[in-house]
A and B are shown apart, each in its own frame.
Chain A
């Protein structure tokens, strides 16, 4: 084999080795564990802390509110739908850490009249003419609207 070809082959061998070493270093350990991705990414995605804890946990302390709610038309609605995520509140209830919704617009997000809403599914009112003089919660308990 001519000398220059041999040199060229040697050069190729060195370059390919380098490439393989660099590649080996760059590919993370868990890559390919389950598929063409880093297996650890699954655990990392799982590690995120849930903000919404669920109504069952609220009921442990607020069983009175829960009873009230379960007996009326808002039974199906999660506490956190109106009060926001409870992850901090259940750790430190005294800090509050929840929203106390107020105002007619709040109820309107679900109850304002809109032809896109099914009338059989959700009772709707015109915010601009249904008992405009006071707040909704003066007449309807937000936890039990007919109570």
Chain B
């Protein structure tokens, strides 16, 4: 009687150990291969999307900021933007004034007379879709990531709204949506570009100051633009390797 009981227990323990081991191996494989992907950027992907912004062409009408809000259901109240326009004014005394009233959405105004101004220009800002994106690296749950085409996206059903990514972005391109309380940002109009359309901001730009395209396609308008212009990126010292590039970017811009 006693002996039998002992045997049962040993069987039970043995089976338990086998089960545990099996499960460990099964579930171990999947997530760890995901970690390998995460550190492995696929710049040889079929598409590698980016955008060029031509500061020489921007007239600061703010239609991009307006269309972006409508296209992507960005809240109307001011100061939540996926894309916005900054007006830089450098005065003759060297001081730098940056204005962006309501993200430049209703157009821009200039408070200084031409006599006082050394130079002045507009800088449209948006997510830089970095190749080394700090925002996707800090996400604790894997709710923000780079798509296979290099577009930084948010998984809105998975995001826990912890705001790490908002802090991490050196370009200030993320915000917490006041209604859903999750992180929101420019998707390069992922729903449009995967459907053969250009991003909404480019669609409405009256002067073609924005050029979306595939950096892996040498015949694309974007690659041709990059070939012909002296482009720059924002904050190169951050080593984020943005895929949004600027033509005629002045040293004053930060």
Interface residues of A (CB under 8 A from B): 10, 13-14, 16-17, 20-21, 23-24, 27-28, 31-32, 34-38, 41-42, 44-52, 54, 76-78, 80-81, 84-85, 108-110, 112, 114-118, 121-122
Contact = CB atoms under 8 A, between A and B. Distances in A.
Interface string B43-75: 000000000000011011111000100111000
B37 A45 contact: no
Contacts of B187: 45
B95 interface: no
B109 A109 contact: no
Contacts of A110: 59, 61, 107, 206
A89 to B, nearest CB: 13
A32 B33 contact: yes
B92 interface: no
Contact of A117 (B27, B60, B157, B195): B60
Contact of A20 (B27, B147, B204): B27
A36 B59 contact: no
Given A76-B206, A110-B206, A35 B145 contact: yes
Given A32-B37, A41-B153, A17 B20 contact: yes
Nearest to B89: A116
Q: Which has the most chain A C-beta neighbours within 10 Å: B70, B117, B120, B203? A: B203
Interface residues of B, number: 67
B181 interface: no
26 contacts: A20-B20, A23-B27, A34-B147, A35-B37, A35-B146, A36-B37, A37-B145, A38-B157, A42-B190, A46-B195, A50-B200, A51-B70, A52-B71, A52-B203, A76-B208, A78-B204, A78-B206, A80-B204, A85-B70, A110-B107, A112-B107, A115-B112, A116-B87, A117-B122, A118-B59, A122-B59
B143 interface: yes
A16 B20 contact: yes
B60 to A, nearest CB: 6
Interface stretch (B11-19, B166-174, B217-225, B235-243): B11-19
A45 B70 contact: no
Contact of A48 (B31, B87, B191, B208): B191
Interface string B79-111: 000000001110000000000000000111110
